[in-house]
Structure formats: structure tokens, C-alpha cells
Amino acid sequence: MNKKPMIIDCHGHYTTAPIALEDWRNRQVAAINNPSAMPKASELKISDDELRESIEKNQLRLMRERGSDLTIFSPRASFMAHHIGDFKISSAWASVCNELCYRISKLYPDNFIGAAMLPQSPGVDTATCIPELEKCIKEYGYVGINLNPDPSGGHWTAPPLSDRYWFPIYEKMVEYDIPAMIHVSTSCNPCFHTTGAHYLNADTTAFMQCLTADLFKDFPTLRFIIPHGGGAVPYHWGRFRGLAQGLKKPLLKDHLLNNIFFDTCVYHQPGIDLLNTVIPVKNVLFASEMVGAVRGIDPETGHYFDDTKRYIEASKILSDDDRFQIYEGNARRVFPRLDAALKAKGK
């Protein structure tokens, strides 16, 4: 493989948004029991210069330093907080967050492209998410969505991903040929630390829900990305293979790996190497979750934990062709709308 790959990061969140966004959200939450004080979307004032400052000093600076080209960019995951308020609250919040990411993609079209936050709310028909999903795909040019399998915030009151409850979203995913990153939000359950437990538990739980069901018989072209390296999945692959066998399911490579993909948000070399040993390269997408849950410098390496490109480059088990697939090829295949957008730009 002689072609230099485009480095596409499939897992980026707008974690550095101007403080005005958080202030607006705090006003919204404070007004849940006082509707007359509810802020309007028009009251959120953030200039393009403020957006540029928030990006150029943070995500874009690090992308340039680390040599990545394009980030699939979505609202901050821990800010989704679907358990707060009702659908109306979630709808307004998703709308303002998605619009900000869209504005970033317009300011930096070569560096960012959007993935939508959905206005989920516990116990509410998921069909209510469709208008925001369609707006983001049709008007904003977004290429995917984030789907929270636990809108209750760590209490897991929603049915499993195989349940018909989720089908309205899946039907639109198939119609628009978009994938979903299965990504929870903040945990309000003190038993589960948000980024150290809830995220990774949810990744593992989502995979197991798919393993025990026949969801992909109903939706053979449905595509899920399980972030953070798939939680426990690649590291207990024998357990999951054995469970599938005990449940009389097909081999996992036949049962799930046509539809489920894993990203590289695994912040140490042995983890990346194990991921790429166990999981076929065709199912691994480059990602960093940059300026996200893990922001510090690793004292063992002297580099940032989330500089995941270093781990891919240092891997002794990956060929140049493997790296091309992880960096670019798989993202184009899993995100067809991204591929179309890049081809339209001659990339």
C-alpha cells in the first residue's frame, strides 16, 4: 500500500464549546419546574470567532500536531444527559448542540463533519427522534448518529437494543445508510463512574444485547460502532465466543462482525495490539476521543494517552495495508455518506 492514508477520526466530541453553551443548559435545567424562565434557542449567543477560538486552540491544534485530517464530530457525550427533563427538554438541547457542531463543520469543512445527537428521553417513543435525525442528515450533511442505549443515565430502564422500541431509528438508519455509534451519556447512578465504568460497561452490554438476539436478521445492513475499543469485548473474546456457542448462535464472525465495528479509543499499546489481534482489521476504525475522557500525559511514554495514532504507528502486527484500512478505508465503508462527501471534494 503506497498511498498515504487520510487519517479519519470517527470519534470526536465538542468538549471545548464556549461556556455560554453550559450556561444556557444550566438555565434550561433550572427552568424545568418554572416554564416561564425557560430559555429560547435564540438566547444562546455564540459568535463564529468564539467557535474558532474554542476549536483552533484545542481539537484543531491537536489534529495538526498529531497528523490527523478529518474528525467525525458530535456534541459532547456526557452533556447529552437524556435523563434530565422530558422530551421537550431533550429536543431543544439536542437541537442547539447539533447546530453548533454544524457551524464548526461549515467553518472547517476539511477538518470536521457531523454526527447527530438524538433527542432521546426515557420511556418516550423513539420515533420522536426522527425529525432531528432527518434535519441533521438532510440539512446539515451529517454522516452518522450517536445512539444512547441507556437514556436513564445509568439505571438501564430502556429495553435492549434488539427490542422493537428502537426500530423507528433503525429504519431511518437503513433508509439513509448511516451508522450509529452506541454511546451512553453521563451516569447519575453513584455505582458507575461515567467514563471509567458506565461507558465501558455500556459498550460491553450493547455487544451482549446484540449477541443474544437476531437483530441483524431484521436489519441486515444496520451498522453499529462500539466505542472505547468495545469495552470488555475484545479482551474476553473467548467468553463471548463460548456464550454464543452455548446459546446456539452462529460463529461471531458470521453473526455480528458484518454489522458491528470497534474504534481505537484504547489508551495503551498492549490494548491496541490485542484489539487488532482478536478483531479483524476490517472491523476496526481509527478514533481518539481527543480532548475527551482521558486528557493527561502517560508518564510511561511521555505522550498524551489519547494520541492513539502513535499506537497504530508503533504496532508490530499491522501492515501498511492494515493501517490504511483502520485510518481511512473502513471509515469510508462504514460511513457511506462520508465517502460520498469526500469523493465530491476529490478526496
Residue 304, helix vs strand vs coil: strand
Find all residues with CB under 8 Å of 321, minimum gap 6, and list them: 1
Catalytic residue among 22, 65, 134, 289: 289
267 close to 234: Cβ distance less than 8 angstroms:
no
Residue 105, helix vs strand vs coil: helix
47 close to 313: Cβ distance less than 8 angstroms:
no
Q: Regarding beta strands 260-263 and 284-285, do their DSSP bridges make them parallel or antiparallel, or are they unpaired?
A: parallel
- The yes-or-no answer on residue 175 being catalytic is no
> How many DSSP H helices and E strands does the chain contain?
16, 8
Residue type, 284: V
Question: What is the DSSP code (8-state) at residue 4?
Answer: P
Residue type, 104: I
Q: What angle do CA 258, 260, 265 make, to 5 degrees?
A: 140
Nearest-angstrom CA–CA distance, 227 and 229: 5
Find all residues with CB under 8 Å of 99, minimum gap 6, and list them: 41
Extended beta strands in the chain, E state: 8-14, 70-75, 112-117, 144-147, 180-182, 224-226, 260-263, 284-285
Nearest-angstrom CA–CA distance, 40 and 11: 30
Phi-psi region of 206 (alpha: psi -120 to 50; beta: other; left: phi over 0): alpha
- Residue 102's nearest CA partner among 142, 132, 43, 42 is 142
Residue 297, helix vs strand vs coil: strand
- Can you read off the three cell numbers belonging to residue 326? 483502520
Active site residues: 289
